[in-house]
Amino acid sequence: MRRLLLIVPVLLFIGGCARRESPVAAGIRTQTLLLGNGAEPQSLDPHLVTAYTDQNILLALFEGLCALDERTSQPVPAAAESWEVSSGGLVYTFHLRAGLKWANGEKLTATDFVFAWRRALAPTLGSEYSYLLYPLKNAAAFNAGTLTDPAALGCEAPDAHTLRLTLERPTPYLPALTANPIWFPLNPRVLAASGPVADRTNGWASPGTLVGNGPFILQEWRSNAHVKVVRNPHYWDAATVRLNAIVFYPTESPDTEERNFRAGQVHVTHALPPTKLATYRTQTPTALRLDPFLQTVFLRFNTTRPPFDQPAVRRALALAIDRAAITRSVLRDANLPAPHFTPPNCAGYTTRATVDTDFAAARALLATAGYPEGRGLPILTLQIRNDAQQPGLAEILQALWQRELGVRLEIRSLEQKTWVQNQQTLDYMISGAGWIGDFADPVTFLDLFISTSGNNWTGWHNADYDRLIAQAAATAAPAARLELFQQAEALLLESAPITPVFFGSQAYLLHPSVRGWEPALLGFHQYKKIYLKQ
């Protein structure tokens, strides 16, 4: 009996000290990817999403005619198994895979794509990304409300497995466009059951009602906690999918996310604080990823609000930015300074026009606008997202503009939802901003600021700029097309409704158990390729 009593405390001691299984280890065992995603989703409706972090989730829930290959950024077959284009480049015919189904088991047909595109272009919906459908014949007129017959749109379904798209003009990058959420199919019966299909308040995109066609199904969405998706047995390529689930965590603080990674809470982080780059470079290089990223981080000016209704004021602030100092001190040389808006060598295009640091010219412009040495200017407000980069950028701007121009700057740090909403409603003075290319072509950056763009959140409209972008769209000769972009970007930088600061790169942490994760220039990952292995 005494021996038994002596043994029991030892067993209790051993049991009490046993290490608990971390979420990362449990995820490896259950094939559940734990993914940092940076922010709470604003929406999971493919037609209302504008944030890159929201698109990350949609790529698990939906699939377009094409997907984008991570390594090449080129379109590859997805819901469509093949396509051909007419000799004049004006008609694309896509052939859907046999046996496509929605996540609820219903058949998916070509008419579901047509339904989705008509809805995306409906004026009542007000989709910010509707302009990505403008290559379709009559799409711009229908979206503007000047044409009301949806049958006049250049999209039709001759049969259940065929889509015929008639274009306004040749658009060689059309297959890549179809990989974007605005081009995803929607289930008309699911939307109709939740209310008017072209109403922004339709709440269909929620757990229990959202039905997609991607490799995963939406199971949970706990506000400010996580979004969980689980494997879709009805996905056409379900045999390839090895993950059973993905959990997206909306952690806005990169410092918190980095601590979560060290604690075994996530397999992949959305970002990494620049202050931690040196540590990971020297101590844990195998976890650190520094991937190229087709992105520009910039400032938006609200041109509808004084003093930013004066180009001279906007231009002065643009010239008083030391971009090299920002990338050196804030970003630890992980990013390149951006003297122009479109990233360099974007499908063979590099902008000639630049915005250089010139404090003397900036002071002269400010004086010309009636604010010598900043006198007479109100305190300017810069709104930023509390991410890994913008707070440090804001602090340098605050010091630079005070020292060089006499401009006082107040910084407002916001969560992503409010930060985006304020830009959409022009409820700001200056805003930190970022844009990631939707596909590898300069037009995805430059058509952002045409008058009809739903993502032109500056209030700036310029007829000459619109004309140049329209001419480029109608120009088949590659060199002539790029030259028109050169003229447009020079005009954009001179008028300065925005000003670029630095080009993107993806600095994040990746657990060694994550396999099939490729560097993606556009940030689009095909989750069906990813799995976990100890």
At residue 6, the pLDDT reads 35
**CA–CA gap between residue 500 and residue 481 (Å, rounded):** 23
Q: Do the beta carbons of residue 68 and residue 74 sit within 8 Å? A: yes
At residue 18, the pLDDT reads 56
Cα angle 512, 516, 520; round to 5: 100
**CA–CA gap between residue 390 and residue 398 (Å, rounded):** 12
Q: At a CB cut-off of 8 Å and minimum separation 6, what does 263 contact?
A: 22
Closest by CA to 531, choosing from 523, 518, 519, 67, is: 518
**Strands 245-249, 32-36: pairing kind:** parallel
Q: Tell me: the pLDDT tens digits for 483-507?
A: 999 999 999 999 999 999 999 999 9
First to last CA, the chain: 44
Helix, strand, or coil (residue 48): coil
At residue 38, the pLDDT reads 95
Q: Write down the pTM of the prediction.
A: 0.92
343 φ/ψ angles, rounded to the nearest 5 degrees: -55, 150
Q: What is the mean pLDDT, run by run of 10 residues, along the chain of 534 residues?
A: 36 51 98 97 97 97 97 96 97 98 98 98 97 97 97 98 97 96 98 97 97 98 97 98 98 95 98 94 96 97 98 98 95 95 96 98 98 97 93 96 98 95 97 96 97 96 98 94 98 98 96 97 96 96
Write the DSSP string, 412-444. EEE-HHHHHHHHHTT--SEEEEEEE-SSSSTHH
Q: Do the beta carbons of residue 216 and residue 228 sit within 8 Å? A: no
C-alpha dist (Å) from residue 188 to 69, 164, 192, 424, 480:
29, 19, 6, 28, 42
> What domains sit in the chain, N to C, each tagged with a CATH number?
34-239+510-532 (3.90.76.10), 290-507 (3.10.105.10)
Closest by CA to 331, choosing from 271, 384, 284, 382, is: 271
Q: Do the beta carbons of residue 10 and residue 507 sit within 8 Å? A: no
Q: Do the beta carbons of residue 321 and residue 382 sit within 8 Å? A: no
**CA–CA gap between residue 131 and residue 450 (Å, rounded):** 10
Which tokens belong to 64?
A: 């377009």
C-alpha dist (Å) from residue 243 to 102, 213, 352, 515, 519:
19, 16, 46, 11, 19
At residue 528, the pLDDT reads 97
Which tokens belong to 392?
A: 């440090």
At residue 183, the pLDDT reads 98
194 φ/ψ angles, rounded to the nearest 5 degrees: -105, 0
At residue 386, the pLDDT reads 85
Q: At a CB cut-off of 8 Å and minimum separation 6, what does 324 contact?
A: 337, 357
